[in-house]
Amino acid sequence: MKIVQVGCSGHFSKALAAIASRDDLCLAGFCKGCEDEDSSWFISRYKDKYGFAVYDDPEEMFDRLKPDIAIVNSYFYINSRISTSALERGISVYSEKPVATTLDELYTLRNVYEKSNAHFASMLESRCNPAFYSACCLIRDGKVGEILMVTAQKSYKLGNRPEFYKHRETFGGVIPWVGIHSIDWIRWLSGQEIEPVYAFHDKRHNRNHGDLETAALCVFKLENGGVASNNIDYLRPDGAATHGDDRVRVAGSKGVVEVIGGKARFIDSEGSWEIPLENERNPFELFVNQVSGGPACHISAEDSFRTTEVALKARDMADTCF
Amino acid sequence: MKIVQVGCSGHFSKALAAIASRDDLCLAGFCKGCEDEDSSWFISRYKDKYGFAVYDDPEEMFDRLKPDIAIVNSYFYINSRISTSALERGISVYSEKPVATTLDELYTLRNVYEKSNAHFASMLESRCNPAFYSACCLIRDGKVGEILMVTAQKSYKLGNRPEFYKHRETFGGVIPWVGIHSIDWIRWLSGQEIEPVYAFHDKRHNRNHGDLETAALCVFKLENGGVASNNIDYLRPDGAATHGDDRVRVAGSKGVVEVIGGKARFIDSEGSWEIPLENERNPFELFVNQVSGGPACHISAEDSFRTTEVALKARDMADTCF
């Protein structure tokens, strides 16, 4: 299967690992996604190992190589346009999240996808994380009962981010970039559609990162009448042991399941215990299998679009909420 | 110092423990707070140990005994009226939280307090809990920097609650009864005034508890422009090791402090560690000391009133929020 990659500003690493591990996968081409993107480090680090040809223009690469799959992860604002170009050519797309940074571009992308015969999935890869996936399996088994409340957290170290993170137009906002994972957990774990009902974001103390928000908080209504919230921040201090502090807690009529610190715990009427974890799955490998006619991968195109839509609506709401 | 107690439906236990531990404190009288309240178990359990006289009417008890302090913790809807009667007589009041279950009654109580020379404090006793108090001390030391986001949780086992919990008029709601603690943490730990901007509550799966809400979620704006949320539930399964799962996380420009599982952790640029805990303090003893002319106790009358006001406004908002 012939694969190309556009851009190197996102989470391509699991895709590259899958390609390296399978003889039937080949990274045939690479192209940066936009003029400003620095891709020299990527080429010098990976060209020899993967043997890809380097192109200057994504569409030229698509037309020359006619790949089966494009991995799209350039600067966030440009990804939807690159994905749209690929889908128009019948190339399946494995896209960085958010799959678009404006609602208009999202709807254009979705329309092109719906007219294509290609596959599409976003890099909401924490669905493959053993703790989150094991929690999901337990919920699907009915152990939590009816879900009444979901609370989630994304907390990251800020560090020093590239210039394009500092501008809303190129970055998109902390809710679509970071918060989208927790929005996805809420939709995926609850198995319910959600709508934002309150959202807030704040860029103070961002250490000269321009528009980049350091804190955000959203509330969503679940379609069953329940509620969910997520708190998002770039305030995790440098002294923390890990880069991120991802959490989700799902409270239902029969039990409470929680992911925290890379572990999953469950409490019900019988007791409280750590859930044995499922094996790690490689999300790109699942996508490749789907493109090859195998079972659906970790996330559908519809979920990829809808989670992005919710994240963008929440961001837009945060721009206007008190 | 002469103390009386009205009602036995709340958190009188720390007050009784303080009275038992000090020779200068005497529980001189007890009276139930309203006709329906079952107090026979309290009298049979504590009368011999404390030697109090039993009265049928709180005002008669106040007039006969002329106590220095009244501990007020009857059915929640009646407490503000009992406290008002005590304050009108110059008796200092140690009241269950919320100190009133309607805004009108709260404002009446506050007005009577302001015209009295008596002291008033609510049983927001988690301010004396070693983990919460130690977190507060660290924040007051400036270790967290400017506070941008506070997230809190109250989760309790439902069990079987008395009849008066099942009616909004007598119970008041899960936000003022349970959530008020987390509202207090947000105000107290941030050192900032807050206003509710979103609130939700839900009574599904309350196992025949009438109006009692099983889940709630509120969002508050901090006066510095930051944000706070609390999630509240009675969904903690019976198999959990403890009755409650109280948490608060305070994220600031210099660090993150968190209370979870009875411990307090702090992360800053230097590292991450468990905070050595301050000693447990008895909140009623602190109140007695204040009434005796000593330093201010764990919570001021103003904070007791304001935290109740925020809780009642959030509850009223939850009645109308989607």
**pLDDT tens digits along B101-141:** 999 999 999 999 999 999 999 999 999 999 999 999 999 99
Q: Is A35 on the interface with B (CB under 8 A)?
A: no
pLDDT surpasses 90 at B321: no
Percent of chain B with pLDDT over 90: 99
Cross-chain CB nearest to A151 (options B231, B255, B271): B231
- Quote the minimal CA–CA distance from B299 to chain A in Å: 28
Average pLDDT, chain B: 97
User: What is the distance between the alpha carbons of residues A197 and A221, in angstroms, rounded to a whole number?
Assistant: 7
Give Cβ neighbours of residue B171 (< 8 Å, ≥ 6 apart): B76, B77, B101, B164, B165, B177, B211, B212
Give Cβ neighbours of residue A100 (< 8 Å, ≥ 6 apart): A79, A80, A106, A108, A109, A308, A312
pLDDT digit string (tens) for B42-51? 999 999 999 9
User: What is the distance between the alpha carbons of residues B99 and A311, in angstroms, rounded to a whole number?
Assistant: 40
Report yes or no: A281 and B265 within 8 Å, Cβ to Cβ: no
Mean pLDDT of the region B272-296: 96
pLDDT surpasses 70 at B322: no
- Among A227, A228, A231, residue whose Cα is nearest residue A245: A231
Q: What is the pLDDT of residue B200?
A: 98
Q: What is the pLDDT of residue B213?
A: 98
* Residues composing chain A: 322
- Within 8 A of B237 by CB-CB distance, chain A residues are 254-256, 267-269, 272
Distance set, CA B135 to CA B142, B157, B219, B275 (Å): 11, 25, 21, 8
b/e per residue A191-224 (b: at least 16 CB within 10 A): ebebebbbbbbbbebbeebebbbbbbbbbbbbee
Query: Which phi and psi angles does A304 have, rounded to 5°?
Result: -60, -45
| Biggest CA-to-CA distance, chain A | 61
Mean pLDDT of the region A191-203: 97
Report DSSP state, residue B99: S
Judged by CB atoms closer than 8 Å, whether chains meet at A238 and B204 is answered as no
B-contacting residues in A 270-289 (Cβ below 8 Å): 270-272
Report yes or no: B127 and B282 within 8 Å, Cβ to Cβ: no
∠ at Cα B9 (B285, B204), nearest 5°? 125
User: What is the distance between the alpha carbons of residues A276 and A290, in angstroms, rounded to a whole number?
Assistant: 27
Hey, of B143, B157, B231, B270, which one would you mutate to test binding to chain A, going by the most A CBs within 10 A of its CB? B231
User: What is the distance between the alpha carbons of residues B137 and A156, in angstroms, rounded to a whole number?
Assistant: 25
Q: What is the pLDDT of residue A58?
A: 98
Report yes or no: A268 and A215 within 8 Å, Cβ to Cβ: no
pLDDT digit string (tens) for A205-233? 999 999 999 999 999 999 999 999 999 99
Distance set, CA B134 to CA A79, A90, B70, B139, B251 (Å): 47, 60, 29, 9, 16
Judged by CB atoms closer than 8 Å, whether chains meet at A271 and B217 is answered as no
Single-letter residue type at A303? D
User: What is the distance between the alpha carbons of residues B299 and A185, in angstroms, rounded to a whole number?
Assistant: 39
- Within 8 A of A255 by CB-CB distance, chain B residues are 237
B209 in helix, strand or coil? coil
Judged by CB atoms closer than 8 Å, whether chains meet at A217 and B226 is answered as no
Report DSSP state, residue A290: H
Q: What is the pLDDT of residue A68?
A: 98
Question: For residue B81, how many other CB atoms are within 10 A of its CB?
Answer: 18
pLDDT surpasses 80 at B260: yes
Distance set, CA A31 to CA A78, A79, A119, A170 (Å): 13, 13, 21, 18
Distance set, CA A270 to CA A256, A259, B182, B235, B239 (Å): 12, 19, 28, 14, 5
B-contacting residues in A 135-154 (Cβ below 8 Å): 145-146, 148-149, 151, 153
pLDDT surpasses 70 at A322: no
pLDDT digit string (tens) for A58-74? 999 999 999 999 999 99
Give Cβ neighbours of residue A244 (< 8 Å, ≥ 6 apart): A154, A155, A156, A157, A236
Q: Is A208 on the interface with B (CB under 8 A)?
A: no
pLDDT surpasses 90 at A158: yes
A268 in helix, strand or coil? strand
pLDDT surpasses 90 at B196: yes
For chain A, how far is it from start to end, CA to CA, in angstroms? 50
For B184, counting Cβ atoms within 10 Å of its Cβ (0-12 exposed, 13-18 middle, 19+ buried), the class is buried
For B105, counting Cβ atoms within 10 Å of its Cβ (0-12 exposed, 13-18 middle, 19+ buried), the class is buried
User: What is the distance between the alpha carbons of residues A33 and A42, in angstroms, rounded to a whole number?
Assistant: 13
Report yes or no: A90 and A115 within 8 Å, Cβ to Cβ: no
Report yes or no: B87 and B113 within 8 Å, Cβ to Cβ: yes
Q: Measure CA A155 to chain center.
A: 15
Q: What is the pLDDT of residue B98?
A: 98
Report yes or no: A40 and A54 within 8 Å, Cβ to Cβ: no
Cross-chain CB nearest to B215 (options A148, A197, A204): A148
Percent of chain B with pLDDT over 70: 100
ipTM score for this prediction: 0.96
Q: What is the pLDDT of residue A173?
A: 98
Hey, of A182, A201, A202, which one would you mutate to test binding to chain B, going by the most B CBs within 10 A of its CB? A202
The model carries a pTM of 0.97
Mean pLDDT of the region A243-257: 98
User: What is the distance between the alpha carbons of residues A47 and A28, in angstroms, rounded to a whole number?
Assistant: 10
User: What is the distance between the alpha carbons of residues A92 and A313, in angstroms, rounded to a whole number?
Assistant: 26
- Among B60, B107, B115, B123, residue whose Cα is nearest residue B305: B107
pLDDT surpasses 80 at A144: yes
Cross-chain CB nearest to A235 (options B204, B241, B256): B256
User: What is the distance between the alpha carbons of residues A34 and A170, in angstroms, rounded to a whole number?
Assistant: 11
pLDDT surpasses 70 at A154: yes
Angle between helical axes of A58-65 and A79-88 (0-180°, round to 10): 30
Show the DSSP H helices in chain A as ranges: 13-21, 40-50, 58-65, 79-88, 103-115, 130-140, 168-171, 174, 180-190, 283-291, 301-320
- Within 8 A of B159 by CB-CB distance, chain A residues are none
Give Cβ neighbours of residue A269 (< 8 Å, ≥ 6 apart): A254, A255, B237, B238, B239
Q: Is A186 on the interface with B (CB under 8 A)?
A: no
Cis-peptide, bond into residue B162, ω within 30° of zero:
no
Mean pLDDT of the region B24-51: 97
pLDDT surpasses 80 at B221: yes
User: What is the distance between the alpha carbons of residues A299 and A128, in angstroms, rounded to a whole number?
Assistant: 10
Report yes or no: A303 and A108 within 8 Å, Cβ to Cβ: no
Mean pLDDT of the region B61-87: 98
pLDDT surpasses 80 at B203: yes
pLDDT surpasses 70 at B94: yes
pLDDT surpasses 90 at A321: no
User: What is the distance between the alpha carbons of residues A292 and A236, in angstroms, rounded to a whole number?
Assistant: 41
